[in-house]
Amino acid sequence: MAARRANGGDLLRLAGRSVRTLGEGYVRTRSGIRRTFHVRATRSASGNLANLLMLAIFSVLMLVPMLYVVNNAFKPVDELFIFPPRIFVQNPTLDNLRDLASILGNSWVPVTRYLFNTVLITSAGTALHVLFASMAAYVLEKYPFPGSKAFFALVITTLMFSATITSIPNFIILSRLGMVNTLWSIIVPAIGAPLGLFLMKQFMSTVPDSVIEAAKIDGTSEMRLFFRIVMPMVKPAWLALIIFSAQNLWNTTGDIYIRSESLKPLPYAMQQIMSAGVARAGAGSAVGLLLMVVPIAVFIASQSSIVDTMATSGIKE
């Protein structure tokens, strides 16, 4: 059909409507079938405009709470309690961040310890999750071994059972294994998160079987094939897995499984400051900003590879 795959940018006026040109095609109009240079006759310019306006209004609503968090972090205390309250800061100040730094600097357990815990949990949990999930996803997608279908069906079903609902039996299992009150209690269960395996397996389907067969004919070992050939090909997917897993672990407060203060992660310490109410409203708002900025910044940096991965995330019957 279309000889030219146009980029969809140029506009063409046809039958009184401006339409996008997307390549050659035939369009049925009131006066009969006619050959045109576009097939995007299903889009009206007014509809496109309405769509943009609606999304813009909607996104302002989505942004309000976040704008508020950002602005609050820079408000002096008198502005935090002004009536009527304002969203936007008048006299921006860094006092809140300084307050937060001094509170954290004077805490019983040094803040570097909380930070270390969170960094350790996030990096160890994410690295092992990506490695193990990729290995499992690779064989589930490429080798029809007995039980592979059943295992994957189990993975899909368990996508539904979030960690909050299984936390009680999990607590029992962790305590039997002697992992309660160690950082392992957060790291290990996160390694087996079904979402990562699911996304990775779906993305593995984009690796052509011929590549794997060719490597095998060349006598490449399984290990080499996986680490040197397959893993580089699914790079967008492991970036996505890193994001999902790291976000989850970065936000973990570990309030059930960890009792020792020196093993608590950073979000727990932050929550304590936030819950101190009016006395620490300034520092609390700085915490809000910190907790929000990290995951969003990571997402901005990796959006395109995440979206590439999610393109294969569908469940086929």
Site residues for other proteins, 217-236, by CB under 8 A, read 222, 226
- Least separation, in Å, of the C-beta of 82 and other proteins? 8
Please report, for residues 21, 270, 294, the alpha-carbon distance to residue 97 in angstroms, rounded to integers and kept in the order given. Answer: 52, 13, 15
User: 20 phi and psi, to 5 degrees?
Assistant: -80, 140
Q: 11, 45, 55, 211: which one contacts other proteins (CB under 8 A)?
A: 55
Give the total of residues touching other proteins (CB under 8 A).
107
30 binds other proteins (CB under 8 A): no
Which of 12, 14, 23, 227 binds other proteins (CB under 8 A)? It is: 23
CA gap 132, 127 in Å, rounded: 9
Stretch that binds other proteins, among 65-73, 90-98, 107-115, 212-220 (CB under 8 A): 65-73
Interface residue with other proteins among 52, 153, 214, 301 (CB under 8 A) is 52
Q: Please identify, among the stretches 93-101, 107-115, 141-149, 211-219, the one whose residues bind other proteins according to the rule CB under 8 A.
A: 141-149
211's CB contacts (< 8 A; 6+ apart) are 229, 233
Helix (H) / strand (E) element for 33: namely strand 32-36
How buried is 10 (Cβ within 10 angstroms: 0-12 exposed, 13-18 middle, 19+ buried)? exposed
CA–CA separation, 60 and 182 (whole Å)? 43
End-to-end, the C-alpha distance of the chain in Å comes to 31
CB of 291 to other proteins, least distance (A): 4
Touching other proteins, residues 72-111 (CB under 8 A): 81, 83-85, 87
Determine, following the binding rule CB under 8 A, whether residue 315 of this chain makes contact with other proteins: yes
**Considering the complex, what minimum distance in angstroms separates the CB of residue 266 from other proteins?**
11
37 interacts with other proteins by CB under 8 A: no
Of positions 12, 27, 233, 273, contacts other proteins by CB under 8 A: 27
**Closest distance between other proteins and the C-beta of residue 270, in Å?**
9
Hey, is 15 helix, strand or coil? coil
Work out whether 65 is an interface residue with other proteins (CB under 8 A).
Answer: yes
Find the helix or strand (DSSP H, E) in which 158 lies.
Answer: helix 148-158
